[in-house]
Structure 1
Amino acid sequence: MLEDIVGQLWFQLTLLLTVAIASSLLFAKFKQPKIIGQILLGIVIGPSLLGLISVDSDTPGSMVPRFAELGAIMLLFLIGLECDIKEIYTKRSLLIGAGGVIVPWVCGYFLSELMLPDPGVGYDMFSQSVFVGAALVATSVAITAGVLKEMGIIGSDIAKTLLGAAVVDDVLGMLVLAVSAGTASGEGIDLSDLTWLVTAAVLFVALGGYIGAKVLTKVVASVQRRGSARGLEESGFLMALSIALLYATISEAIGLSAIVGAFVAGTIFARCEYRTRFHGYTKVLEWVFAPIFFLSLGVLIDVGEVSSGAWLFALVLTGVAFATKIAGCGIPARLLGMSKGDSLSLGIGMSPRMEIAMVIALYGLSNKIITGEIYSVIVMMGLLTAVFTPSILRRTMRSVPKTPAVCETVDA
């Protein structure tokens, strides 16, 4: 009887949302990002400890993998909606962001090749290493922005440069995911396939963004005006959400990931005339889907299956995660005229990996590109960078004068 209840879809949803509320309250009390609490409590209710939720997609009623995938699509749409690239984009941000993508990706790949054993039947070592590197690419804008807001310096020059570089990281991170997913063939890499993937990714982002900005934003605005005249205030947002799902479908159909399309769609509507109104609706979606996504990440971890060697790799990977951002972002910042202290702070501020790194890990796990053990390692790396970055950043940026906020980002 109890097993039947636990296996029901509605019980799983009830448990996930209840635990999400509890974790948010608990970690807010200790002034820690709530997403850390959601992942940790996901580990508790999953197979690692209590086993209240099954992660086997073949088990009747088990929908956690589907919850996670849907949550990832919604989360990336919301992140894209917050990325008004034109507001904080500069040449400096572009160069720093690019350095923060290339160095971690390359170093993560070679570290994986050096330390990890062959993943076994059904997996490809090259593809797994590419995904480990890809997981090191994107910065968590939410965590860094939260610290800057708390310190009252989010309007400072270094904060604007940091946030701009983080936005570049997000965009390039989606391109990295697209290329990484396409090269995961199990037979190595083919130059013509890689050329097609890069071309498809660039064309999709460019054409999707252009058509969206020139046509679809006007369609959504028209729907919103007509809907508002008839008392349907949410009509424009629903149309925008439908377009996001369409972009996700097209993205997946051409060999990219669905979340790439969702992210591109989000950036389209970031400059829509009804953006402020849409922001309120996206918050409702964020309250529901973001906790489900991060809890699901924890549920999908089985600590009992992680070997001692994998734990060692997780610690080394965390160290490399910090070092590659400090080098990849800090060195270009220094060369572009920033002080040593600001360059170091910028590299540290770019170090936390959470949202997009978790999405990349989930995609790799769901498509049998990385093993469950390596998935757990990537999630643990993300948790460790998210936990340690705020305290380090507060120390390195304590001399920055307080300035008023000039932009908004996704809450941590």
Structure 2
Amino acid sequence: MGRILLNRGGRMLVLLAVAALLPAVAWANGVSDSFSRTSLALILMITLADACGFLFERLGLPELVGEICAGILLGNLALLGIDFNFPALLRSSEFMIYAAELALVLLLFLVGLESDMRDLLKVGRNATAVACAGVLLPVAMGLGTAIVLDVNGGLQGWFLGATLAATSVGITAKLLIAQGKLKSASGEVILGAAVIDDVLGILLLAVLASVAASGEFAWGSLLIIVAKALAFFAIAVIIGQRLMPEMIHMVAITKHASIWTGFAFCLALAFAQLAAFAGLAPLIGAFVAGLLLDDVYFRVGATLQKHTLEELIRPITDIFISIFFVFIGAQVQLQVLADPSILIAIAAFTAVAVASKSIAGYLVKGPGFDRLGIGLGMVPRGEVGLVFASFAFAHGIFTPAVYSALVMVVLLTTVIGPALLKPRLSRF
């Protein structure tokens, strides 16, 4: 057995070496067209993500941690003497940026598809309490830490706290799905709280953006966004109860399985776009789209079962999700670790990020819940935290040093959260 694993490991190392050399050889020979550069980047990202995911799973860590670490490695190849700027390649590629965003839409659609709306309503009160505390505590503790570290310049401290308040439902959801805990009582609270957290996060971003633009608080903008959010969810429920069964019946006229893959793909994109038009996060729309199929049965060929659609859409999500996590990791710049003040700030804000969400989990009431596990499930900030950081940096609110530190904190919580949560899943 040991010899077999060694042989497999040797073949994997050879494959990784070839995949890593391809872009370097291509760049050295002057390959500059967009198709070739993107294709080589995809080969490198997917191969390394799969290998690192397999390795980390063998070490008892979530696969997604390995995928993020693969991105960190690719984003810092210059430190190893491989002279091409991979993060710049990702940022300059419209396809890579879109692929990362599409991954979130597909993942949240899959999560909604595997969730039960009635179960979510049962934990609605607990989810709301966790979400509200999970926003208020990080903002307050983050602002206080910013004042102590003397990085509170104008709106900078408020945006810093808002960055720490955002929760990435996608990262925890993937771990819950992999461990079969998505429909557990604690898993449902995490999922519901994370969705509510996203809505609150968008509202918070809108308020801070309004203050940044006008210099004063605008109640009007906040009320409009709240009204849009409520209208979106109300319309989605109406569609789910009245129109979705008819749509399923029309699509079921054909017996080809491929049409269901296309239907699911387009449905997720359509609701994501509708959410964007409503001023909400697109991933909320994708999640609602999945929920709309909750109690609808559909026919694929000779079978009549819901899980068939999940099986048809999963191969697409797996590829794009791997690309997404590598994309996140590739934005890390390890050079910032050379500055002691940056290290102190990263450590302090990471501690605040973990502690604030962990405390929020203890607001859950009732038996059968793992309160600490729920809090830890809210720890990853992921893409949502990066949205806040990027907005503040683009508008000159964050200094380059603060921005670099916050990106590291977001990525650390993305790694730390699942690592701390996994041992607690046996209690879910």
* Partner in structure 2 of residue 389 of structure 1: 421
Structure-to-structure mapping, 1:236-385, within 5 angstroms? 236-274=260-298, 275-305=306-336, 307-333=339-365, 336=366, 338=367, 345-353=370-378, 357-368=381-392, 371-385=403-417
The root-mean-square deviation of aligned C-alpha atoms, in Å, is 3.3
Q: CA 1:126–1:251 in 2, change beyond 3 Å: closer, same or farther? A: same
Once the 2 structures are TM-superposed, how far is the Cα of residue 279 of structure 1 from its aligned partner?
A: 0.5
Q: CA 1:325–1:138 in 2, change beyond 3 Å: closer, same or farther? A: farther
Structure-to-structure mapping, 1:9-158, within 5 angstroms? 9-47=38-76, 49=79, 54-56=86-88, 61=93, 63-87=95-119, 89-90=121-122, 93-116=123-146, 125-135=157-167, 140-144=172-176, 149=180
Farther off after superposition, 361-370 or 372-381? 361-370
Q: For each residue in 1:67-90, what CA deviation from the matched residue of structure 2 results, as whole angstroms up to 9, or x when unmatched?
A: 322222222222222222214642
Q: 1:226 aligns with which of 253, 262, 275?
A: 253
Name the CA distance, whole Å, in 2 between partners of 1:63 and 1:138.
Answer: 20
Secondary structure of residue in 2 paired with 1:270: coil
Once the 2 structures are TM-superposed, how far is the Cα of residue 203 of structure 1 from its aligned partner?
A: 1.4
Structure 1 gaps of 5+ residues are 401-412
Name the CA distance, whole Å, in 2 between partners of 1:168 and 1:31.
Answer: 27
* Partner in structure 2 of residue 407 of structure 1: none
Name the CA distance, whole Å, in 1 between partners of 2:323 and 2:170.
Answer: 21
Name the CA distance, whole Å, in 2 between partners of 1:352 and 1:377.
Answer: 16
Name the CA distance, whole Å, in 2 between partners of 1:377 and 1:120.
Answer: 19
Name the CA distance, whole Å, in 2 between partners of 1:80 and 1:133.
Answer: 23
Once the 2 structures are TM-superposed, how far is the Cα of residue 350 of structure 1 from its aligned partner?
A: 3.6
Name the CA distance, whole Å, in 2 between partners of 1:138 and 1:17.
Answer: 19
Once the 2 structures are TM-superposed, how far is the Cα of residue 295 of structure 1 from its aligned partner?
A: 0.9
Query: Structure 2-normalised TM-score?
Result: 0.76
Name the CA distance, whole Å, in 2 between partners of 1:302 and 1:265.
Answer: 36
Name the CA distance, whole Å, in 1 between partners of 2:96 and 2:171.
Answer: 25
Name the CA distance, whole Å, in 2 between partners of 1:276 and 1:138.
Answer: 20
Q: Kindly indicate which of the two structures has a greater share of residues assigned to helix.
A: 2
Q: CA 1:266–1:367 in 2, change beyond 3 Å: closer, same or farther? A: farther
Once the 2 structures are TM-superposed, how far is the Cα of residue 260 of structure 1 from its aligned partner?
A: 2.3
Query: Structure 1-normalised TM-score?
Result: 0.78
Q: CA 1:278–1:365 in 2, change beyond 3 Å: closer, same or farther? A: farther
Name the CA distance, whole Å, in 1 between partners of 2:287 and 2:127.
Answer: 18
Contact 2:362 2:371 in 1 (8 A): yes
Name the CA distance, whole Å, in 2 between partners of 1:145 and 1:240.
Answer: 19
* Partner in structure 1 of residue 8 of structure 2: none
Name the CA distance, whole Å, in 1 between partners of 2:54 and 2:332.
Answer: 23
Q: CA 1:393–1:296 in 2, change beyond 3 Å: closer, same or farther? A: same
Q: CA 1:346–1:221 in 2, change beyond 3 Å: closer, same or farther? A: farther
* Partner in structure 1 of residue 7 of structure 2: none
Q: CA 1:381–1:114 in 2, change beyond 3 Å: closer, same or farther? A: same
Q: CA 1:381–1:253 in 2, change beyond 3 Å: closer, same or farther? A: same
Tell whether 2:215 aligns with 1:215.
Answer: no
* Partner in structure 1 of residue 185 of structure 2: 161
The residue type paired with residue 34 of structure 1 is E
Larger Rg: 2
Contact 1:100 1:329 in 2 (8 A): yes
The residue type paired with residue 47 of structure 2 is T
Once the 2 structures are TM-superposed, how far is the Cα of residue 37 of structure 1 from its aligned partner?
A: 0.5
Farther off after superposition, 313-322 or 136-145? 136-145
The residue type paired with residue 60 of structure 2 is K
Name the CA distance, whole Å, in 2 between partners of 1:25 and 1:69.
Answer: 24
Structure having greater relative contact order (Cα 8 Å, sep ≥ 6): 1
User: Aligned pairs, how many?
Assistant: 373
The residue type paired with residue 295 of structure 1 is V
Q: CA 1:139–1:191 in 2, change beyond 3 Å: closer, same or farther? A: farther
Once the 2 structures are TM-superposed, how far is the Cα of residue 321 of structure 1 from its aligned partner?
A: 4.3
Secondary structure of residue in 2 paired with 1:96: helix
Q: Percent identity?
A: 17
